[in-house]
Amino acid sequence: MLDAILAQSRNTALIMGLIAMIGLLLQKKHATDVISGTMKTVIGFMVFNIGSSAMSGVVQTFTDLFNVAFGIEGVTTQVEVATGLALNTYGTEVALVMLLGFVVNLIVAKFTRFKAIFLTGQHFLYFACVIALIFIANGLPMPLTVIAGGILLGFCGAALPSFCQPFMNKITGADNLAMGHFNCIGYAFSGYVGKLFGKMGKSTEEKKDASTVNMPKFFELFRDFIFSVALFMVVLFYVAVIACVVNGHMDIVLEKAGNDIWFIYPFLQGLQFAAGMSVLIYGVRQFIAEITAAFVAISEKYIPNSKPAVDCPAIFPFAPTAVLIGFVEHS
């Protein structure tokens, strides 16, 4: 019986549900809201796992084809897939690091000049996962992993957005939003590079000026994140499959394709990956929403002058042309 209880303590969906329940109780929510929020969190995490599994299968297929096609041993990097796989093994550690990180974020915002409340829950989860895995890989015991990891996560969540704040204020025209993303140092560096060369031309968003950059209508499709992911993966799969065929590995392509026509198979796999991504993102948003809501309520009540640190898409409407240019150049 004790072994069964200990085994359940490593069920990440239940751990996330418990965290959400504690947050809802701290807000003194009605019993029905506590039950509903807890169940939504558990279900959301299960949905996340379904999406993660779907994406993992596609990524493994692509990796196999790519390695055979080009004769290399490589891996495909995808944060959502990696997080899903890690949570299957170290879910308890990651969940506890994330919980303590939220608390430390509030404490740092309360007592220091770093006022960002990190509300991009999925990135908080990803970073908690990275921190926990690094500590575990270096032999740290679970208590030290949770304590040190939570402190590091919470401090970074409050402090890193400050690097981007001058540029956020310029883009949004106000000082009420922060960047809730852990690439803030890179974004800030880009901002300073932009300041260095920005005087050489017009802003991409000065639409009334005749010299403004005009993007082709086709590129507006890339405003849809899932479409962008689908197109990108379809292209990658066709590259891998065509390379396999050219290099004499048609048998492997046919084996992977199964009942599908081999030249349609890459298209279907790219869409399958995007479908898994859609499911995963939906699950993340559902189970994160209930957890972050508690910390939002606490920060609004007890932490004056705090700023919500939100995800990148919240900034896209302020500079849509720049977003498209950035996506095309990156791709």
What is the pLDDT, as a whole number, of residue 56? 83
3-state secondary structure of 257: helix
Mean pLDDT (10-residue bins), the chain, 331 residues: 53 79 84 92 88 86 90 71 79 90 92 89 88 94 95 96 92 84 90 78 55 59 77 92 93 92 94 90 80 72 82 70 64 50
d(CA 13, CA 201): 51
The H or E element containing residue 285 is helix 265-302
Determine how many CB atoms are found less than 10 A away from the CB of residue 46.
15
What is the pLDDT, as a whole number, of residue 12? 72
Report the C-alpha dihedral over residues 81, 83, 86, 87, rounded to 10 degrees.
-110
